[in-house]
Chain A
């Protein structure tokens, strides 16, 4: 028996057996080929279930309608009907059970997402009524004059005597148009 031939062979064999054994205990039992064959779907089957159980956060506005029907009806009748409540108030998961009140975002940036005037001829954005944030009452909350749930309604502010007036006319008067 030539030891120098057999020993390396034994080492290789041992490594192989160890690998197979380790693999046996380490790789989960549900590691299988899925529906798209070995190249695209050799995976741990249980992971699909794990993803399916991932928590849903956005509920859609039909969920809000039951309790906040006033806001719901108002916004549905306005040009803002296209916007989901949760875009402005955040995901409603857990509300009202664990999160008693959803946040209210009164920042100008929220409205500027759509209303900063961008003159893009080939985009729907160019057609939305827009303002220049630097010119249009800078520093003031949009909601102090406009109702976010009913932007086409009468003005609501009191601090500059616009309250209840029609914005179109008031604007013309202010700007001397």
Chain B
């Protein structure tokens, strides 16, 4: 049909223009840079350092100096009920009841023998102990996967970091963490979490909580170094991790963990 011809020509011209336009945009490499192929494959198989944490719950005395030091070192609002690390107290009674508390995240220690408002007489206590907790720096961190803007990421030493300038404060990562190790920074309005005091470890210092623990209940080590004392314990002693069933491969190891600990 002859009256269709001009339309066809125009269509061809149009498609041509569009293709060229798209090609032009595509060729401007910086504009189209979503992910280069070599970058997509940039997995590092042999890093020299992978930080892990070791918590000895047999040793912890619940003084709370780790929480105090962490908050001051990392400039976390001192009186807000949030913290990068916290200490939980467990009292398992002889009748099987378990009482758990963590007043002010354990910042001021446990100076009251009463727990959850109950004064348990010593004769009724089967076991009582403290469990310090912090980010597990998981090998498969679910919090990183859910970030819609790439504001949280894992570095080669295994530590999960938060980009405070890039975070939009949507809170997905806080929901995604099975350990509740993340929280909303009330001052900066961004997601907040422990990063094993990255600013200290890069300078060869120990994290603030490790340095300030009077009893050595908290330790950091490099699991890739077979001579590291922490590595030796993790490899040779009976250690456990929290919530293994989530498949996050947590890297904070615990000695003396009780089944009442969640």
Contacts of A52 in B (CB 8 A): 198-199, 202
User: How long is the Cα–Cα vector from A50 to B208 in the complex, in angstroms?
Assistant: 18
Q: Which of B40, B128, B129, B212 contacts A58 (CB 8 A)?
A: B212
User: How long is the Cα–Cα vector from A70 to B247 in the complex, in angstroms?
Assistant: 52
The 6 closest A-B pairs by CB, nearest first: A120-B128, A113-B109, A43-B153, A119-B122, A54-B199, A35-B156
Given A33-B40, A41-B154, A114-B61 contact (CB < 8 Å): yes
User: How long is the Cα–Cα vector from A33 to B144 in the complex, in angstroms?
Assistant: 13
Q: Which of A37, A57, A113 contacts B63 (CB 8 A)?
A: A113
Q: Is the CB of A43 within 8 A of B113?
A: no
Binds B, one of A86-94, A145-153, A161-169: A86-94
Given A13-B18, A20-B25, A114-B128 contact (CB < 8 Å): no
Given A48-B161, A82-B215, A114-B61, A57-B129 contact (CB < 8 Å): no
Contacts of A128 in B (CB 8 A): 61
The digit string for A132-156, where 1 denotes a CB below 8 A from any CB of B, is: 1100000000000000000000000
User: How long is the Cα–Cα vector from A84 to B69 in the complex, in angstroms?
Assistant: 11
Q: Which of A37, A55, A84, A122 contacts B199 (CB 8 A)?
A: A55
Apart from A13-B21, A40-B141, what 18 extra A-B contacts exist at CB < 8 Å?
Answer: A1-B10, A1-B11, A17-B21, A34-B154, A36-B153, A36-B154, A36-B155, A40-B154, A41-B154, A47-B161, A54-B74, A56-B205, A84-B212, A112-B109, A118-B113, A119-B128, A120-B128, A122-B58
Q: Please give the distance in Å from B96's CB to the nearest CB on chain A.
A: 16
Contacts of A35 in B (CB 8 A): 42-44, 47, 154-156
Q: Please give the distance in Å from B82's CB to the nearest CB on chain A.
A: 18
Q: Is the CB of A41 within 8 A of B153?
A: yes
**How many residues from B make CB contacts under 8 Å with A?**
72
Asked if A95 CB lies within 8 Å of chain B CBs, one says: no
Q: Please give the distance in Å from B22's CB to the nearest CB on chain A.
A: 8
Q: Please give the distance in Å from A145's CB to the nearest CB on chain B.
A: 18
Contacts of B39 in A (CB 8 A): 32-33, 38
Q: Is the CB of A51 within 8 A of B199?
A: yes
Residue ranges of A at the interface with B (Cβ–Cβ < 8 Å): 1, 6, 13, 17, 20-21, 23-24, 31-44, 47-48, 50-58, 60, 82-84, 86-87, 90-91, 109, 112-114, 116-126, 128, 132-133
Given A51-B199, A114-B109, A124-B58 contact (CB < 8 Å): yes
Asked if B108 CB lies within 8 Å of chain A CBs, one says: yes
Asked if B60 CB lies within 8 Å of chain A CBs, one says: yes
Identity of the chain B residue whose Cβ is nearest the Cβ of A112 in the assembled complex: B111
Q: Which of A44, A54, A83, A109 contacts B108 (CB 8 A)?
A: A109
Asked if B246 CB lies within 8 Å of chain A CBs, one says: no
Q: Please give the distance in Å from B9's CB to the nearest CB on chain A.
A: 10
Asked if B27 CB lies within 8 Å of chain A CBs, one says: no
Q: Is the CB of A124 within 8 A of B43?
A: no
Q: Is the CB of B154 within 8 A of A116?
A: no
Asked if B262 CB lies within 8 Å of chain A CBs, one says: no
Q: Is the CB of A43 within 8 A of B151?
A: yes
User: How long is the Cα–Cα vector from A44 to B149 in the complex, in angstroms?
Assistant: 10
Q: Which of B40, B128, B164, B211 contacts A118 (CB 8 A)?
A: B128
Binds A, one of B29-37, B177-185, B225-233, B234-242: B29-37
Q: List 12 A-B contacts (CB under 8 A).
A: A24-B31, A38-B35, A43-B153, A47-B165, A48-B161, A87-B65, A112-B109, A113-B110, A116-B113, A118-B110, A122-B58, A124-B61
Q: Which of B21, B25, B150 contacts A31 (CB 8 A)?
A: B150
